[in-house]
Amino acid sequence: MSNDADISRRDFVRGRLLRTVRAMAGVPTPPPAPQRAAWVPLPIRRPPGAVPEARFLAECTRCNACIQACPVGAITVAPMRFRHAAGTPMIDQATAACVMCPDTPCISACEPGVLRKDRPLKMGTAWVDRSNCLAHRGTLCTTCSERCPVPGALRVDGGKPAIQDATCTGCGVCAQVCPAPINAIAILPLPDRPA
């Protein structure tokens, strides 16, 4: 619990600083998060192939099978601050990334079928904060594009990374490996997955 509180406080501090920095550097603030339907709790990043959120909440049995199946330990149980989503599987950007296994063991393990092979693998979208990205600030850096597991999702244009929103799955590998002093990649979750 105390850990959760720490993280959210840190997020808060960081968010405020980020806004200040952006304002000072004349960088526009990121686009507002997509409009959410009233029933969605907090934005939560699900494992790949998740069904729409309402159905996910209703049908996920909290059996933890996907958590056990993940070979890199990327999936965790949503903590209490996610309120009624607490206990369901999620991927926390602060600590882990989905590595996009070709054989998606988490989906295979999901018995109630809230993770499905016939659903898009998209979990969210990466967003590059240009005021903190080293490459966008004149320092040679290509780490994120080299480690991105999805071909074509992260292109380097003139030495600077650019996310291809349609291809990006939001796995979070880029955010994990980003070596900038202030991590320059945010993963925007996809709470309103299409039906």
Partner 1 sequence: MTTVDRREFIKSAAMSAAVAAAAGSTRAFALPVLTAPGVQWNKAPCRFCGTGCHVLVGVEDGRVVGIQGDLKADVNKGLLCVKGYHVGQILYGKDRLTTPLLRKDGRLVPISWEEAIDTVARRVLKDPKGFAMYGSGQWTIPEGCAGNKFMKGGLSSNHLDGNPRLCMSSAVTGFLSTYGVDEPAGVYDDLDQCDVAIMWGNNMAEMHPVVFSRIVDRRSRGEKVTIIDFGTRRTRTTDHADEFLLFKPNSDLAIANGIAHLLVQNNAYDKDFVARHCNFRQLDPEKPDAMQGKPMTFDEYAAALAEYTPERVEQISGVPADKIRLLAALFARRDIRITSLWCMGMNQHTRGTAINCLVHGIHLLSGHFGKPGDAPTSLTGQPSACGTVREVGTLCHLLPGGRLVANEDHRKHAEGFWNLPEGRINPKPGYHTVLLFEKFCTPTDKGGDIHTLWVQVTNPGQSLPNLHKLFKAKKGLEDKFLIVSDVYPTATTELADLVLPSALWVEKNGMYGNSERRTQQWFKMVDPPGQARDDCWQTIAVARRLFDLGFEGMKNKDAEFLFTFKDKGGKPVPVWDWNHYYDINVDEAFFEEYRPFSKLKQKDLAPYAEYARTRGLRWPVVQQPDGSWRETRWRFSEFDDPYVKKGAGTQFYNSVTKDDKALVWFRPWEPPPEGPDADYPYWLCTGRVLEHWHTGSMTRRVPQLHRAMPAAYVEISSTDAARLGVRSGERVALVSRRGRLELPCWIGGRGDCPEGTVFVPFFDESLLINELTLDAHDPFSKQPDYKKCAVRVERVVTTGAAR
Distance CA 138, CA 133 (A): 9
Encode the chain in three state secondary structure: CHHHHHHHHHHHHHHHHHHHHHHHHCCCCCCCCCCCCCCCCCCCCCCCCECCHHHHHHHCCCCCHHHHHCCCCCEEECCHHHHHHCCCEEECCCCCCCCCCCCCHHHHHCCCCCECCCCCCCCEEEEECCCCCCHHHCCCCCHHHHHCCCCCCEEEECCEEEECCCCCCCCCHHHHHCCCCCCCEEEEECCCCCC
Q: Using the minimum distance from each CB to partner 1, give the nearer residue, 163 or 174.
A: 174
The reply to whether 11 sits near partner 1 by the rule CB under 8 A is no
The reply to whether 159 sits near partner 1 by the rule CB under 8 A is yes
The reply to whether 140 sits near partner 1 by the rule CB under 8 A is yes
Other beta carbons within 10 Å of 106: 25
Q: Which amino acid is at 95?
A: T
Instruction: In angstroms, give the least distance from the CB of 159 to partner 1.
Output: 7
- Stretch of 30-38, 49-57, 84-92, 179-187 contacting partner 1, by CB under 8 A: 179-187
Q: Using the minimum distance from each CB to partner 1, give the nearer residue, 118 or 157.
A: 157
The reply to whether 24 sits near partner 1 by the rule CB under 8 A is yes
Q: Which of 4, 59, 111, 146 binds partner 1 (CB under 8 A)?
A: 146
Q: Which of 28, 31, 32, 138 binds partner 1 (CB under 8 A)?
A: 138
Contact 45, 124 (CB under 8 A): yes
- Stretch of 31-39, 50-58, 108-116, 173-181 contacting partner 1, by CB under 8 A: 173-181
Q: Which of 76, 108, 142, 167 binds partner 1 (CB under 8 A)?
A: 142
The reply to whether 93 sits near partner 1 by the rule CB under 8 A is no
| Number of residues forming the site for partner 1 (CB under 8 A) | 33
Q: Which of 100, 137, 162, 192 binds partner 1 (CB under 8 A)?
A: 137
Give the interface with partner 1 as residue ranges (CB under 8 A): 6, 10, 13-14, 17-18, 20-21, 24-25, 71-72, 99, 101, 131-132, 134, 137-143, 146, 159, 176-182
